[in-house]
Structure 1
């Protein structure tokens, strides 16, 4: 069991009853290292992004070598946010542009971490961005992105692995790929991007990451492109901490809470302090699963999605209904299921991949969640150096692509154009 995602209780983050691969059997696969981006304006880009904030040192501090779980208690005065207070504070709009507030929200209180390194002056207010042309007629044919003109193919497709609050690393990698300009605005025209989830926790600026993705979603739509995101297990955990706080949940090892589990898994108080209604509304509507150009996009390398429906709309509707109507124990169970991992490792891995592909469609799975260094067993280098992650990892008989480069453990934040060959 890796220390990457832990919560009070003995639930193991393997993939449940469908497939029980031997986790000591490492997957046979290959790294994919894309060609350097051409025509990229700016200074040369460092191939590896290493960061110590919340990475290997964080894991060493919070998961001792004795392997014992440790209960984390939240501060008594930690500010909590009620989902009921925020959901519905802004109307939902059709299409793929994010819901933005109609007016600026009140300034945060003085204790809202004004000295945070990545929080620029004026960040107390939600972002204000151009939304582009008016939304189309609802009766008109809909497309997952603006319809191409005659003979015009859709734009290239990119995926982004787990970010976990590493905003500057994300900006650097997106710019390296030519997807944003030097000011951080969309510069990729009709390109399409899918973020695979896990925007927050462990890193320095999770809310900044969410703000950037929401901004790019609007700017891409205005340019004829497409920017969307999946819901990861850390989105479920973050929303649960905001909604339920210290309310007890029924864990198989006894009573725990979302807030305690969130802190145990690298939750940053300044992210919770800055969480606002438009963030909650946007995060709560993220899909759990998607199919794009034959790629089945998931956050977690688990078969637990099969427990929520036999089609992509069924799975997404089930998760959204749960987040809208169900109680704390149902939320906890959903978080627990989507925290499972390693279904595609070992001899049984290709069978698990085929089970998902046969149910939901597609020819290959692309996922985040499990850091590649853990997936391949390269987490501990003999020389003590950070793991070398040249690119996405293709495994399970070439049926699965892992995109979590382990940025939290001084690896790399990955952005890749699909297909990965």
Structure 2
């Protein structure tokens, strides 16, 4: 298991019986770097980077699940100070405001993955619907696209994990929102690849923003859509089932315990409302756009839920609506598996999904690029350098989780790349 997704049981980070990759073989691929756009923070190195390796950094650098309460308390104090200072600096760079301090008594849930200590005020509830004009200002809706008009450009967004400020900054950088955080992309199409909450400071704020952009994009003739990630399943399960026991490979567990272990933030759970639950529960598990098969997880587990995109999405929705806690837990566990597309068998696993669901290339989140490539282990102790999305598995797979939770980047890319 990676520290990115941990829950009770001796889980394997691959995708089970299908095409198990050698965990010592890292994928050979290339980082994709978009052309500079003049954005001050986008002055990345001009060279691309190809990564290949075979060290046992997986076992060496993924910490065990044990916790030292005293060490956790000490780490929480220092982590709060360090992350708050970093967040304040980033907010100033992006032209925003420094986040407020966390409420008293708040502590990170994982000592090896410190949760950001800063919190934000609860944003107002954003209702679905077109953007409303200011009082006294005439409302001019965007014109609907002509019948034969081609669709707008296609973008994908990697895992956000509650990092609202970083998401806003990158959306502005790409010209997809304006300075006030409203849709500015016309008829563009955006797909979020899932994992809106956990570990970061404002998961509910991220969900509210995506719901807002979905309404505003529709009014502009474009759209903003999202996939269901394994953390959506975990978050919803924690809200629905709490401490109700489930059967895991290590004995009895619960959604709430697993959610906390995986960076769940209590203030997100406290702010979760009925319209959030309704929206999250209806997210699809798979999408297909312009030949790109869009998945959250780099796993073949989707094949266990149907042989078409509609069948998989219906199966997941039916499970969430009607099945019990053990079936929900099993679904979460299956979509938490990873690394099916790396190693010698990776291209075969990609082809199996493409042959079943369509498309010519898979675009996924879930597995942070630093773990996928081994860049998490830097000899100089510096944060991993993530120039952009990572293309691998014989150029058949694109990884979009830039590791924002581990000082990497929140990635947004225009397809195709």
Quote how far apart the aligned CAs of 1:14 are: 1.1
SS of residue in 1 equivalent to 2:130:
coil
Correspondence 1:258-273 to 2 at 5 A: 258-273=255-270
> TM-score by structure 2 length?
0.80
Alignment match, 2:53: none
Alignment match, 1:12: 12
Quote how far apart the aligned CAs of 1:377 are: 0.8
Quote how far apart the aligned CAs of 1:68 are: 3.6
Quote how far apart the aligned CAs of 1:11 are: 1.8
Q: Is the 8 A contact 2:154 2:414 kept in 1?
A: yes
Q: Is the 8 A contact 1:112 1:274 kept in 2?
A: no
> TM-score by structure 1 length?
0.79
Distance 1:28 1:208 in 2: 36
Alignment match, 1:69: 65
Structure 1 gap segments, 5+ residues each: 49-62, 74-109, 134-145
Distance 2:414 2:63 in 1: 38
Distance 2:379 2:11 in 1: 30
Out of 33, 40, 44, the position equivalent to 1:44 is 40
Q: Is the 8 A contact 1:8 1:71 kept in 2?
A: no
Q: Is the 8 A contact 2:10 2:249 kept in 1?
A: yes
Structure 2 gap segments, 5+ residues each: 45-58, 70-102, 107-116, 133-142
Distance 1:255 1:302 in 2: 25
Alignment match, 1:387: 384
Larger helix proportion of the pair = 2
Q: Using a 3 Å threshold, how does the CA distance of structure 1 residues 219 and 402 change in structure 2: closer, same or farther?
A: same
SS of residue in 2 equivalent to 1:45:
helix
Correspondence 1:21-420 to 2 at 5 A: 21-37=21-37, 44-47=40-43, 67-70=63-66, 117=118, 119-120=120-121, 123=123, 125-128=124-127, 131=130, 148-149=145-146, 151-420=148-417
SS of residue in 2 equivalent to 1:185:
coil
Quote how far apart the aligned CAs of 1:119 are: 2.7
Quote how far apart the aligned CAs of 1:130 are: 5.0
Distance 1:240 1:371 in 2: 23
Distance 2:61 2:372 in 1: 20
Structure of higher RCO (CA pairs closer than 8 Å, 6+ residues apart): 1
Q: Using a 3 Å threshold, how does the CA distance of structure 1 residues 132 and 46 change in structure 2: closer, same or farther?
A: closer
Q: Using a 3 Å threshold, how does the CA distance of structure 1 residues 64 and 170 change in structure 2: closer, same or farther?
A: same
Alignment match, 2:136: none
Q: Is the 8 A contact 2:161 2:197 kept in 1?
A: yes
Distance 1:273 1:308 in 2: 32
SS of residue in 2 equivalent to 1:209:
helix
CA displacement, residues 77-102 of structure 1 (integer Å, 9 cap, x when unaligned): xxxxxxxxxxxxxxxxxxxxxxxxxx
Q: RMSD between aligned alpha carbons?
A: 2.4
Q: Is the 8 A contact 1:295 1:363 kept in 2?
A: yes
CA displacement, residues 167-187 of structure 1 (integer Å, 9 cap, x when unaligned): 000000000000000000000
Distance 2:412 2:343 in 1: 26
Q: Is the 8 A contact 2:36 2:43 kept in 1?
A: no
Distance 2:190 2:68 in 1: 36
Distance 1:67 1:390 in 2: 26
Quote how far apart the aligned CAs of 1:126 are: 1.2
Alignment match, 2:138: none
Distance 1:204 1:163 in 2: 11
Distance 1:64 1:355 in 2: 32
Q: Is the 8 A contact 1:192 1:227 kept in 2?
A: yes
SS of residue in 2 equivalent to 1:242:
helix
Distance 2:119 2:151 in 1: 35
